[in-house]
Amino acid sequence: MALSPASVGPVIPEVEMNAGADQGSTTVRATVVQACSVFYDTPATLDKAEKLIAEAAGYGSQLVLFPEVFVGGYPHGSTFGLTIGSRSAKGKEDFRKYHAAAIDVPGPEVSRLAALAGKYKVFLVIGVVERAGYTLYNTVLSFDSLGKYLGKHRKLMPTSLERVFWGFGDGSTIPVYDTPLGKIGAVICWENRMPLIRTAMYAKGVQIYCAPTADALPSWQASMTHIALEGGCFVLTANQFCHRKDFPPPPEYTFGGHEEEPSPETAVCPGGSAIISPSGTVLAGPNYEGEALLTADLDLGEIVRAKFDFDVVGHYARPEVLSLTVKTEPKHAVSFTSTV
């Protein structure tokens, strides 16, 4: 389909939504958003999200996927003032500002996103920085086309330095939602390299596998194609496209890991968003050119044809030899008991 430049409640682990759905409808129009957050400005980011959702809905899209931590932003290049054994005063202030741009779940920003999903009649999957007290999480929120918040997935294992500023998710937020469009779930960035969480998603019957990311390396495309083939599912991956100028200028915000400060026009995150079918066919993307909306029609019948060849948790499984146990209970640092 077309690729076009872009204009600028309680947690529910599983939701059954297929009652009364048209079981004969097998095609889903999906859009992957490739765009940059407005860093440190959550209200402006939500305004931008609305414009992009409206544009995708104008193409007839039923499902819209946004990148990893689109709301709250991915802190490309930031070190938060960290060296082994010390943290700088500026780095602590950087974290305070990042914490301020995060959102509570539930909260007013979640309510606004739910209203947008309902207004434009789309299923919305969007990455956010979730604030839970003083700990932040890399989280994906899902909403249905009636404007209902479905639930969240917290990234199980932040990558590398991400572990300093994001907490760890647990098995209580690995949902797959049974919707009129099919079974939809999300796994974030390098979680997708973890075979066991992929297997858990396959066991839940995921058909539209959303993979918001911050990885723009060519090797990411190989991972996405492998997951589509392995899981016999459609894979939608969304990354931001950001220039250095999309972040505050130095010295307020500096980029570590570079020999010199990038120029304002340097692409510090060059995209790579794509849509891939269960046969491994690339239906849209990858795009490395700029902000864009990538749209494709997903023929869900292709899933059945792919599973005939390989059903990783069905006829190709050997549970008497290899099996997986997923611990789905929430893990809390402190539990209180009462003798009353």
Q: How far apart are CA 304 and CA 310, in angstroms?
A: 10
Q: Token pair for residue 23?
A: 């079981």
SS (H, E, C) 324-339: CCCCCCCCCCCCCCCC
Give the residue numbers annotated as catalytic, written as ranges.
68
Q: Token pair for residue 165?
A: 């500023």
- Name 199's Cβ contacts closer than 8 Å, sequence gap at least 6: 312, 313, 324
CB burial readout 75-95, b (16+ within 10 A) else e: bbbbbbbbeeeeeeeebeebb
The H or E element spanning position 284 is strand 282-287
Q: Is the peptide bond before 67 cis (omega within 30 degrees of 0)?
A: no
